[in-house]
Amino acid sequence: MIGKSLRRKEDERLITGRGRYVDDVTFPDLRHLVLVRSPHARARILSIDAGAAQSIPGLSVFLGEDLPELSDPLPAFHVEPTNPYCDFSVPLPQMALARGEVRHLGEAVAAVVADARYRAADAADLVRVEYEPLPPVVDVEQAMAEGAPQVHAGRPNVVGRIEASFGDVGTAFAEADVVVEERSSYPRVSSMPIETRAICARFDPAAELLTIWAGHQTPYLLRETVARFLRLPDENVRVLSPDTGGGFGPKGAIYPEDVLVPVLACRLKKPVKWIQTRSEHMTGSQQARGQVHNARLAARGDGTILGLDVRIIKDVGAYNIWAVNEPTNTINHLPAQYKVPNFHGEGLCVLTNKVSISPYRGAGRPRLSS
């Protein structure tokens, strides 16, 4: 209501320490998950030796092949049927635990579960992984060049394209008094919530009821995904979202940990929790932006805009999860408050050996500021 101050209802509970977050969920027989992660942006996995860790009593180590429940890839977000600009968007399989090759720094290759987080972390250090480092693809424009290394063998690095236009851009530039060209590069950014990603799961075998606590932005998608992996009816999976210290977009995707924790809880018949460390968040949570714009503006001598032609190259990271969402938003809003009678926009989604991209606080719109 304009002109009237409204009293906030939630602040007192939170600032007096009565908030309840995922890490506040605990059980006497709780187990903690720690992941063994790749130190390489791109490498072949030659061998994994978990013998030293597995010899510790009361501790479990799992590789991808140990969990047939996770033999399907994680879900991606495909918008082709509803996006009128989308020519194509190719999904790339992302497994909960990498098999054969790692494609970004911090990708998980093994899961360690123990009765205390520090014991799981110590055991994870004992897991020996032999890698064969490969040349990483880190520059989005170089990734499009002929002969560039392929992030996914046998697949081109360009995995999506959108195009939108109205008017006659060709005529606008032919009749222009002035043509201005500019290349703008928007680096990646990372969200920094107060609470990192976290998930806890507990399975009741008698009732075949799985309860999940997660600070997640899409709890219904999480429920649907976990139910599919575990071959459970959706109604047998309950997702509770307690207080969350910030989401901003990157907590909306389905990550490997989101399915690993429930699967391990069912496998071990004990509650399992994973709390992301701050360094894991910075290297493993989805990031945002990472776009290159090549723009041309056609105008008359008096400053009247005749046309705008923009080509966007989007760095989507190692897995094409959110497809063309951000460049679509950018193209939709590029004319902004200006009258642009002729417009053409193209967006290319390109793979690199980086963590994947997600929508984040404005999702494509902040790239309009310059």
Task: Tell me if 16 is assigned to some domain.
Answer: no
61 shares a domain with 127: yes
First and final C-alpha spacing in the chain = 33
272 Rama class: left (phi>0) / alpha (psi -120 to 50) / beta = beta
21-46: string of b/e by CB count within 10 Å (b at 16+)? bbeebeeeebbbbbbbbbebbbbebe
Is 235 part of any domain? yes
Q: Are 331 and 85 in contact (CB under 8 A)?
A: yes
- CATH number, domain of 222, equals 3.90.1170.50
Q: Do 129 and 233 belong together in one domain?
A: yes
Give the 3-state secondary structure of residue 51.
Answer: helix
For residues 242 and 325, give the distance between their C-alpha atoms in angstroms, rounded to a whole number.
28
306: CATH? 3.30.365.10
Residue 3 lies in a domain: no
In a domain, residue 368? The reply is no
Predicted model pTM: 0.92
| Pairing outcome for strands 178-189 and 288-299 | antiparallel
Residue 12 lies in a domain: no
Q: What's the one-letter identity of residue 208?
A: E
Cβ count within 10 A of residue 115: 13
**Phi-psi map region of 61: left, alpha, beta (phi>0 left; psi -120 to 50 alpha):** beta
Helix or strand holding residue 325 (H, E)? helix 325-333
Which domain-ending residue is among 263, 284, 305?
284
The answer to whether the CB of 312 falls within 8 A of the CB of 347 is yes
201 three-state secondary structure: strand
Instruction: Of 184, 159, 114, give the one whose Cα is nearest residue 356.
Output: 159
Do 124 and 51 touch, CB atoms closer than 8 A?
no
Query: In terms of residue numbers, what domain contains 349?
Result: 142-186+289-360
> Which pLDDT tens digits describe the chain residue by residue (370 residues)?
566 788 888 788 888 989 899 999 999 999 999 999 999 999 999 999 999 999 999 999 999 999 999 999 998 776 556 788 988 888 889 999 999 999 999 999 999 999 999 999 999 999 999 999 999 999 999 999 999 999 999 999 999 999 999 999 999 999 999 999 999 999 998 888 989 999 999 999 999 999 999 999 999 999 999 999 999 999 999 999 999 888 888 898 899 999 999 999 999 999 999 999 999 999 889 998 899 999 999 999 999 999 999 999 999 999 998 878 889 999 998 888 899 999 999 999 999 999 999 888 777 666 565 4
Residues 126 and 238 in one domain: yes
Residue at which a domain ends, from 284, 313, 348: 284
User: Among 241, 259, 284, where does a domain finish?
Assistant: 284
188, 140 contact by CB (below 8 A): no
Q: Are residues 70 and 97 in the same domain?
A: yes
Say whether both 169 and 129 belong to one domain.
no
CA distances to 195, 262, 345 from 79, rounded to whole Å, are 30, 27, 18
- Give residue for tokens 């999506």: 160
Please tell me whether residues 219 and 345 are part of one structural domain.
no
Classify residue 249 by its DSSP letter. Answer: T
**Domain identity same for 198 and 346:** no
Q: Are residues 163 and 210 both part of a single domain?
A: no
Residues 113 and 54 in one domain: yes
Let me know if residue 68 belongs to a domain: yes
- 169 and 276: one domain? no
Angle at 16 between CA 10 and CA 18, to 5 degrees: 70
Whether residue 297 sits in one domain with residue 214: no
Q: Does 73 reside within a domain? A: yes
Cβ count near 174 (within 10 Å)? 11
Q: How many folded domains does the chain comprise?
A: 2
Please indicate, yes or no, if residue 10 is contained in any of the structural domains.
no
Residues 171 and 299 in one domain: yes
The tokens for 172 are: 């606008």
